[in-house]
Amino acid sequence: MEIAEIKEYLPHRYPFLLVDRVLELEPEKRIVAIKNVTINEPFFQGHFPHYPVMPGVLIVEAMAQAAALLSFKSMGSKRDENTVVYLVGIDGARFKRPVVPGDTLILEAEKLMDRRGLVKYAVRAKVGDQLACEAELLCTQRTISKT
């Protein structure tokens, strides 16, 4: 899946769209996607100017965006302006190595549970074969009102 199709499923846009390409997708099961990390990312100006490191919260967000893509593709529906996938829980997040400019972040999400509108994913972010971050994410989809 290329960036144009990703944008059909995710509402995020620059500078907050953190998935560049989907490499593998098995609906209802798993997804493998990538984020190319470049020095041009706006967060590197302040995190940290002397040693640029991708903020952990943005690594978690990138994994959540990959999981959201898996959710939408599994449902066979694209996002609409009244639907949003919320991240409602982060369990066991561990950061194992810094992510720096020039890295290609490999984002993996595996669906663990889908019950009563809540979906749980095991997620990992790797650089090459090195684990950068892992966690379990709990997500839900909601209809929003624009009032």
Active site residues: 47
In the chain, the N- to C-terminal Cα span, in Å, equals 34
* Token pair in block for residue 32: 């493998």
- Go through the chain and tell me how many residues it has: 147
Beta carbons of 134 and 92 less than 8 angstroms apart? yes
* Token pair in block for residue 105: 């972040």
**DSSP for 20-89, written as a single string:** -EEEEEETTTEEEEEEE--TT-GGGGTS-TTS----HHHHHHHHHHHHHHHHHHHHT----TTEEEEEEE
- Does 49 sit behind a cis peptide bond, omega within 30 degrees of 0 on the bond before it? no
